[in-house]
Copies of this chain bind each other. A is one copy, B any other.
């Protein structure tokens, strides 16, 4: 897609870029996107000038952070979606060996695993999305690409899970996404209470099963 316009990037430059991305992820998530750029630069141990050399705009930095997150998620969902469809993927034969601690019990394990992945890696993403949407950046190429990929993987996983009778058929992509961001928000404030987190997942997953 973009093959030649980015030269290899000098060693130190690459390191600084990585540091900035890490610092931005951390700072944006914990202190909100209103945090001054200077703060992020300081957290990354570089000057503001360096920040702006790598990301020409605060918004661009924001986007880069999101893109990285989305890409990670897309990678994970891709694996799950491929596995689930591969013949033999997700314990293919009939003999319900199961045992998958409640996550499914009747196919759809990959779907629920993907749901977890998306939720767990989306922490803090909420505010980012809002910010970008507000800036009218909805369709920035990179974002769009990863977003589309994730959407596609989830669609396949959802369909498979419904075929397997693991998820109620009324649920479509719209509801799925709403539940994903909702669960993300719910779980976000339960960082330190794993039991509560598990229970929230259980409630949502049970609610998604056919009734």
Enumerate chain A interface residues (CB-CB to B < 8 A).
31-32, 34, 126-127, 130, 134, 168, 170-172, 174-175, 177-179, 181-187, 189-190, 193, 196, 199-200, 202-208, 211
Contact = CB atoms under 8 A, between A and B. Distances in A.
B32 A203 contact: no
A196 B174 contact: yes
B196 A187 contact: no
B196 A178 contact: yes
A136 to B, nearest CB: 12
Given A175-B203, A178-B189, A204-B207, 8 more contacts: A170-B199, A174-B193, A177-B189, A178-B196, A178-B200, A182-B182, A182-B186, A182-B187
Q: How many copies does the complex hold?
A: 4
A67 to B, nearest CB: 21
Nearest to A172: B196
Contacts of A190: 174, 178
A189 B181 CA distance: 10
Contacts of A202: 207
A168 B187 CA distance: 19
